[in-house]
Structure 1
């Protein structure tokens, strides 16, 4: 091999090494940014002790209204929407166009909530009363379980991700089982995850993780009557940056509108 070929080979090896280091630095920076966002920008999850069975609570008055109970994380709260409506607000707008019946929405969304925290919240008698009275229950849960403030993206360890997924599916099954025990008739809509990182490096891996997560969550939902997973992955897939808030994680108003309108299209009287 000539001297020129050796120099060319060394140059290629050097560029590959630099690229690898740059990628690791980029992933570390992304993980730090997301962790910083979740710990500082988003309010800490509300810690609630399980309510005693004899603890006073306000019963739900049956007044003939159509009742929607919203559960879950920051998507249910509408974080990232300047209007503060979130997908629940846009869903409600569509439902009001479809029916003149009074619609009552109870929003129990908590920023940063995980599936385990939602399961604990469902032990409260006041929330159990809301579950019993609901005609429709919508849930967004799982994003904090999976992404963990960016920690998961910093490693993308298949074994760790499998552990996280398995734990989430167990919690999800328990949540749906409890909801069905409290209310056998309500329609339950579980909001699937989208991939906010689809235009960044490792998109093939992160998209595969999210798609697999949604598929298995849908399988759990299918065990219970009138319970479905509402897909959102496709809504953000082609133009994700057009539908994300400034934090590049939560939806913006347009993103929430897409989700809300899709959920509303599935709700009938």
Structure 2
């Protein structure tokens, strides 16, 4: 029997979230979204790629919930079949800013509870608008390892807890992939972060894009043609 030719897929992508989705830190203004869409467009099994990027610097999970009420974002999400999402970094940084001189693990767990509720609501709202689009949600990395010195060993378990908790939340929903990033940046922040020591640089975003593409390939069969 002749092999059936694989069907080509079309990606109708909506990118949501914070400065990582906006691409802050990449001077070519590509970010992981730009890099990923460029590569997808060149793939032989991809028919068409469209992208709407609503990433916004400084947004927290609370901001994202408000954005999901905006008519243009509601329409975009409804029409999409693929969603990229980065959120949570600013929720975490908020704890550092608020309690900088007197940080306690309990400050992070309080904020994590708020973030968990919000992340649940974000997923629930996206699913309400679009039951089928595959969501690719990036976990958090540690941009502070060069700064925290000895305190880094106390922060790493906090970050791991946030990511483990977010992974648990993603598993409650269908068609959501949790994409780990902390291992990509660990021990390499001097090479992979922009000069602000927080956002990825071009190489950092390329690492994120490479991992996202791995996940996209895994779930390609589920993309609406």
- Which TM-score band applies after superposition, normalised by the shorter structure? 0.7 to 0.9
Question: How big is the shift at 1:233?
Answer: 0.2
Q: Could you say which residue in structure 2 is the equivalent of 1:235?
A: 184
* Residue equivalent to 2:5: none
The answer (yes or no) to whether the contact 2:170–2:176 under 8 Å persists in 1 is yes
Instruction: Tell me whether 118-127 or 148-157 shows the greater mean CA deviation.
Output: 148-157
Offset at residue 242 of structure 1 (A): 0.3
Matched, 1:140 2:89: no
Pairing 1:253–2:215 present: no
Give the one of 54, 67, 86 matched to 2:31: 86
State the distance in 1 between where 2:141 and 2:195 align: 16
1:191 equivalent to 2:141? Answer no
Secondary structure, aligned partner of 1:101: strand
Q: Deviations over 1:201-232 (max 9, x none)?
A: 11111211111111101111110001121000
User: What is the rounded CA distance, in whole Å, between the counterparts of 1:70 and 1:115 in structure 2?
Assistant: 14
User: Residues 60 and 88 of structure 2 are in contact (CA less than 8 Å); yes or no, is this contact kept in structure 1?
Assistant: yes
Does the CA contact (< 8 Å) of 1:92 and 1:264 recur in 2?
A: no
Do structure 1's residue 167 and structure 2's residue 114 form an aligned pair? yes
Structure 2: runs of 5+ lacking an equivalent? 1-8
Q: Of the two structures, which has the highest relative contact order with CA contacts closer than 8 Å and spacing of 6 or more?
A: 2
* Aligned partner of residue 70 in structure 1, secondary structure: strand
With 243-252 and 93-102 compared, the bigger mean Cα shift is at 93-102
Greater shift after overlay, 200-209 or 115-124?
200-209
1:80–1:250: 8 Å Cα contact kept in structure 2? Answer: yes
Q: Equivalent residue for 2:174? A: 225
Mark the structure with the bigger radius of gyration. 1
Aligned match for 2:71, one of 125, 150, 153: 125
TM, length-normalised to structure 2 = 0.87
Counterpart in 2 of 1:54? Answer: none
Runs of 5+ unmatched residues, structure 1? 1-63
Corresponding residue of 1:111: 57
C-alpha deviation, 1:65, in angstroms: 4.7
Q: Distance in 1 between matches of 2:122 and 2:172?
A: 12
Q: Normalization by structure 1: what TM-score?
A: 0.73
Q: Tell whether 2:143 aligns with 1:180.
A: no
Q: For the residues of structure 2 that align with 1:162 and 1:239, how far apart are their CA atoms? A: 27
Cα shift at 1:119:
0.3
CA offsets 1:223-266 (integer angstroms, 9 cap, x no match): 00011210000000131210000000100000001001111221
SS in 1 for 2:47: coil
Residue deviations 1:124-167 (CA, integer Å, cap 9, x gap): 22211111111110110001111128416723311211110000
- Match in the other structure for 1:266: 215
Q: 1:93 to 1:149 in 2, by over 3 A?
A: farther
d(CA) in 1 for partners of 2:79, 2:211: 23
